[in-house]
A = this chain, B = another copy of it.
């Protein structure tokens, strides 16, 4: 029996007979020749079936294959410079696992389908070249992020999904019946990270987070993945540097490992190649002035909307670091700038090309009394935060961290218009299936 080989590995079997297992991606017929394209999830290869060279039933079996029919194909690997992957398969035999009947064909055809149709068929849509390319880039981004932190001595701490209290307000929380009690799905692991960082010095969590936002925009999912590093004894400057290094590292890794996928996505490579350190930085104050000069209505004290973020970032080819926003627009745990307490020691990183905020974070408040006061001002349930306040009672140290939303990074690096394609099975306001 010839060896069973993955398409990505055929180059090692040139001149040999192998078995490929996969699906028919496309079929072209030219007289007494058939050119089936096979895919197996690791790659695509063109087969060649010569009528005279195979038994009639093999020729007929290939000829009658329909899109996405599953097969085991035996053939000889032949180097061919004209072939997309550099190799073709001279088909000797085929074993059809399942032929899809032409009467009930594979629902997704090369013609255009509407978005709702494709989303309803997400379980099949994932098989398209474009969606597989996005899955590959997403995989690489996640791996790069984990390697970045692991190689720098961060300890992964999986923070809980079920939480008793809200980190930043309760209006966008998903509520769960938890036996006789109620629980909320996490929006951020940060508060737990702050506990863990006092144990391990440098930590990150990386998991799904949830936001019951009734927005139906191209940037919002109800379920999305976030990586959140936290560093003890780190100040705003340190965490800005960490964020910028992370982004540059991730982009470089994708450029190194996923060029074919970026080509499938028709991503402009030169735009990604410009993502080199250092990134431009400005204070919120400077940003407001720039926005006003560009015609925005924003006044000091207001938060940036999506349009403001796009306006701001469009002058830069790299991610833009904006720091020291007014405390009033930021979460209660942000440390105030000691020289100007009305602004917080916080940072947002805006992706280029209008992709908006990809990182948000800053230095955390260490002062117990101030934190108690802020919790009261925000009318948060004090009792639920007692354990968090313990972190300021017992060996409080300066510490900083940020969150980076994976789907927005995937959207930016892949150059996608909508986050719905960034995650295998997107969940949105009106989308809970499949």
Contacts and interface: CB of A to CB of B under 8 A. Distances in A.
Interface in A102-147: 104, 106-107, 121-124, 126-127, 131-132, 135-136, 138-139, 142-143, 146
A89 B22 CA distance: 62
A80 interface: no
* Dominant SS among interface residues on chain A: mixed
A190 interface: no
Given A158-B424, A214-B179, A124 B390 contact: yes
A176 B159 CA distance: 20
A136 B155 contact: yes
B126 A195 contact: yes
Contact of A160 (B161, B223, B394): B223
B390 A123 contact: yes
B135 A424 contact: no
A174 B176 contact: yes
B233 A21 contact: yes
Contact of A70 (B185, B199, B395): B395
Given A21-B232, A21-B233, A123-B387, A41 B200 contact: yes
Given A22-B201, A23-B395, A233-B21, A157 B135 contact: yes
Given A196-B424, A397-B21, A202 B139 contact: no
A279 interface: no
B21 A98 contact: no
A150 interface: yes
Given A156-B139, A192-B425, A198 B387 contact: no
A198 B424 contact: no
A266 B87 CA distance: 55
B395 A100 contact: yes
A207 interface: yes
Contacts of A207: 207-208
A57 interface: no
B434 A387 contact: yes
B127 A198 contact: yes
A353 interface: no
Interface in A369-400: 387-388, 390-391, 393-398
Given A70-B396, A232-B21, A424 B174 contact: no
Contacts of A201: 6, 22, 40-42
A142 to B, nearest CB: 6
Interface string A189-211: 00010011111111000011010
Interface core residue of A72, A398, A424 (most chain B CB under 10 Å): A424
A192 B425 CA distance: 8
Interface in A149-197: 150, 153, 155-164, 174-179, 181, 183, 185, 192, 195-197
Given A72-B233, A159-B424, 18 more contacts: A6-B153, A23-B395, A40-B232, A41-B198, A41-B199, A69-B395, A70-B396, A97-B396, A121-B387, A123-B388, A126-B196, A127-B198, A132-B199, A135-B200, A146-B146, A160-B424, A161-B223, A174-B177
7 contacts: A97-B396, A132-B200, A138-B158, A143-B146, A160-B427, A164-B432, A207-B208
Sorted nearest first, the 3 A-B pairs with minimum C-beta distance are A41-B201, A387-B434, A123-B195
Interface of A: 4, 6, 8, 21-23, 40-42, 68-70, 72, 97-98, 100, 104, 106-107, 121-124, 126-127, 131-132, 135-136, 138-139, 142-143, 146, 150, 153, 155-164, 174-179, 181, 183, 185, 192, 195-202, 207-208, 210, 212, 214, 222-223, 225, 232-233, 387-388, 390-391, 393-398, 423-425, 427, 429, 432-434
